[in-house]
Amino acid sequence: MTLGASALLPAANAMAATGCAVTYTTNSWSGGFTASVTVKNLGDPISNWTLGFTFPHSGQRVVQGWSATYDQSGSAVTARSLSYNGSLATGASTTIGFNGSWTTSNPNPTSFTLNGTVCTGSTTPTTAPPTTPPTTPPTTPPTTPPVTTPPPGGQTPVAINGKLRVCGANLCNQYGKPIQLRGMSSHGFHWFPQCYKDQALDAIATDWNSDLFRISMYVQEEGYETDPAGFTARVNELVEKTTARGMYALVDFHTLTPGDPMYNLERAKTFFAAVSARHAAKDNVIYEITNEPNGVSWSTIKNYAEQVIPIIRANDPDAVVVVGTRAWSSLGVSEGGNATEVINNPVNASNVMYAFHFYAASHKDNYRAELERAAARLPMFVTEFGTVAYTGDGAADLASSTQWLDLLDRLKISYANWTFSDKAETSAALRPGTCNGTQFTGTSVLTESGTFMRNRIRTPDNFPTS
């Protein structure tokens, strides 16, 4: 996205629009807002488009956008279509969005143009009330939500389970029944982009029979902080591809170094405002808001979570959010602590789960015992684990891995294995060089860890619907 350009001309080769309608909605917080803009073409079909509008006040700025490229000069904003959403037939619509900032007020634009034509067909700007963090504990969600629909005929994990919620210490489906999701985590997609092409995602969904795909977006380590708009766009693309395959998408804000999540607080607010606005209507998106906090207290992690979660809730009030725990998401065990600090002082929000990470060759009986103790009181989610040592390398410990997975199955704790990639380390599921090709199914492309995990994940799910 470029800001500061002065052009307000239609995109090249765009046909003139003879009529259009725009719906503009916002969610705001102190100093910022997220806008969603739905454009409907009421005129002749067009092959690409330019949407123009003007903010009522000069203090309003587009900070980060998606589903279009944005230019702003003064108060005037131009959004141009991308390759996948440029064609609009008569009566067709598309939705774009952006995060904005404001200084003194946040009124909405009142006039829009599509390829230079004023949109007069029921332009309906609306504004939701400003969002602030909760100041009192939320009402505890009912243990069993009411069943209002019959079991669906679809067979994908999302078609069967629908919108998820936290029920007591469990992750529950739309029928209020505890379930376990099993799947794979990406590596940093900026390092291994070829590992997440369509053929790879097809294999995860239909050959591995995965219920979920964890989209790991590194924040440091050459990640999000170097190109926020580009990394956000890639996450959104992978969420869409995961959704199309009927899996749950676990969006991982992959913080590692530094271990203090507060270092990335403003980045997290910007990122999750954009991603949650884009996917708020979906039933399959889960948000992991900090990967492996380390070297900080639980109270610091909790403070971070209680500032980030309201940003997500402003767009998606019911999304499941996973919060990392102390000492590389070990519930504090790796720094000499335990789950008591979380049990006695949980995050002040509903539909929240807590992350636990382990590496089977390094973390054994004492880690398993602490997770089982915690799971009796807290909703736990193993958002990352490996069959090898904590370094991600070394021999696969399949005996310890089996003990771990048997425990997770028994407790119905969901998990994502690290990693579906072809990195030259033993935690990777794919043999080095696999991602250069298009063959991802079967066992010939898998490492020892990959073969073991595929065999575990592809066993039949147990998703109760009554």
CB 356 within 8 A of CB 382: yes
Whether 162 and 246 have beta carbons less than 8 Å apart is answered as no
DSSP 146: P
How far apart are the C-alpha atoms of 355 and 416, rounded to whole Å?
11
Angle, helix 398-411 to helix 365-375, in steps of 10 degrees: 10
- Rounded to whole angstroms, how far apart are CA atoms 66 and 96? 6
Q: What is the DSSP letter of 205?
A: I
User: How far does the chain reach from its first CA to its final CA, in angstroms?
Assistant: 48
Angle between helices 398-411 and 448-457 (to 10 degrees): 20
Tokens of 265: 């607080």
Residues composing the chain: 466
The residue to which tokens 């999302």 are assigned: 158
Alpha-carbon Rg for the chain in angstroms: 23
Cα–Cα distance, 420 to 389 (Å, whole number): 17
Whether the link from the prior residue into 139 is cis, omega within 30° of 0, is: no
Name, in order, each residue with C-beta under 8 angstroms of 349's C-beta and a sequence gap of 6 or more.
Answer: 134, 138, 305, 306, 309, 310, 313, 321
Q: Which runs of E-coded beta strand occur in 268-364?
A: 285-288, 321-323, 352-359
Structure token digits, residue 306:
């209680």
Known catalytic residues are 292, 384
